Amino acid sequence: MTRVDVHDPRATMRVMALPGPGERLRLERRPIPQPGPHDVLVRITACGVCRTDLHVQDNELPDIAWPIVPGHQAVGEVVAAGARSVVPVGTRVGIAWLAGTCGACEFCATGRENLCDHARFNGYHVDGGFADYMLADSRFCFPLSVATPAAESTPLLCAGLIGFRTLRLAGDATRIGIYGFGSAAHIITQVARYESRQVFAFTRPGDTSAQDFARRCGADWAGDSHQPSPAPLDAALIFAPDGALVPKALRDLKKGGTVVCGGIHMSDIPSFPYTDLWQERQIRSVANLTREDGHAFMALADRVSIRPQITTYSLESANDALDDLRDGAINGTAVLVMD
């Protein structure tokens, strides 16, 4: 991509936009937006593709701001900043799911901005990173080290962060089951191993490629999701959007164990006998992230030296990336690379 003068009002950028529910991404040229007082304009280097982008395409989330540019795992360089930006021009930043919060509701006031009543999300309520440039509120960006290639940092911003929050909600569980071995799972397995936990990976039945991948990432055991766990689990982390895994995971738990559902959308959970929940087993979900999660996880990721596995696509090939993710044809994370 040739450098353009971002302050030139005639300058344009490429975006891949979803025009409406169920439609495919369409390449458009749009004017480069100008930052508001708290904003930064970021020249995107790479943007990860997430299962949530499929949920947006499929209209499975409420109140999507159609037409929308998806993408909430963007890494790039700040090329212009508003007067009140807290991030200077020239900084490499990561832009994650949380675009902004109200700062005033009861959740914001009690350290739970991930549950903010008026939260806005990138690639859902505001245009995201499937583009050459993107605006972001500087207060919600994460400065990143330039030591890691930008494309390899992108999976940390959603898959890694949501996986991190999911793992933290499992407490100090030492034996963990992970259901659905995709982007989040392959990152969080590396964190769990770093923390000396055991990881049992459950994949779609017969998906030996994902099972091999799980073992390569450090899982102690990998097998089909309908198999009983070879040993009782302290916690189960569910990343696959399949509600039937919830009662299955409950049955794999020890007494007092927890099932943590890490996805934003899941098919209905079938009913199950109360005895499966009895003995203080619990089921809970994870929603979004706080900025504190982001800063804590980025620091941890540097210590762990997480190596995400990525498959790269050009911006114009974003539809192929979404299709491959939908088909389960990617081990690790699909990443759009802009240059």
Q: Point out which residues bind Zn ion (CB under 5 A).
A: 50, 52, 101-102, 105, 108, 116, 158
CB of 328 to Zn ion, least distance (A): 17
CB of 15 to Zn ion, least distance (A): 18
CB of 194 to Zn ion, least distance (A): 22
User: What is d(CA 55, CA 223) in angstroms, rounded to the nearest whole number?
Assistant: 27
Residue (334 or 337) nearer to Zn ion, CB: 334
Residue (41 or 289) nearer to Zn ion, CB: 289
User: What is d(CA 15, CA 13) in angstroms, rounded to the nearest whole number?
Assistant: 7
CB of 265 to Zn ion, least distance (A): 11
Going by the DSSP 8-state scheme, the letter that residue 232 receives in this structure is -
Which residue bears the tokens 């050009």?
314
Residue 235, phi-psi category: left (phi > 0), alpha (psi -120 to 50), beta (remainder): beta
CB of 165 to Zn ion, least distance (A): 12
CB of 97 to Zn ion, least distance (A): 6
Residue (105 or 296) nearer to Zn ion, CB: 105
Residue (212 or 242) nearer to Zn ion, CB: 242
Residue (159 or 170) nearer to Zn ion, CB: 159
The angle formed by the CA atoms of residues 298, 122 and 285, to the nearest 5 degrees, is 70
Residue (102 or 287) nearer to Zn ion, CB: 102
User: What is d(CA 9, CA 11) in angstroms, rounded to the nearest whole number?
Assistant: 6
Kindly tell me the burial class for residue 230, based on how many C-beta atoms sit within 10 Å of its own C-beta (0-12, 13-18, 19 or more): exposed
Closest CA relative to residue 13, chosen from 80, 63, 66, 59: 80
User: What is d(CA 22, CA 82) in angstroms, rounded to the nearest whole number?
Assistant: 35
Closest CA relative to residue 18, chosen from 4, 3, 28, 29: 28
CB of 299 to Zn ion, least distance (A): 20
CB of 107 to Zn ion, least distance (A): 5
Please report, as a single letter, which amino acid is at residue 140.
Answer: F
User: What is d(CA 127, CA 134) in angstroms, rounded to the nearest whole number?
Assistant: 7
Which residue bears the tokens 């929050």?
165
User: What is d(CA 226, CA 179) in angstroms, rounded to the nearest whole number?
Assistant: 10
Strands 253-261 and 233-238: parallel
Residue (101 or 211) nearer to Zn ion, CB: 101
Residue (122 or 190) nearer to Zn ion, CB: 122
Going by the DSSP 8-state scheme, the letter that residue 255 receives in this structure is E
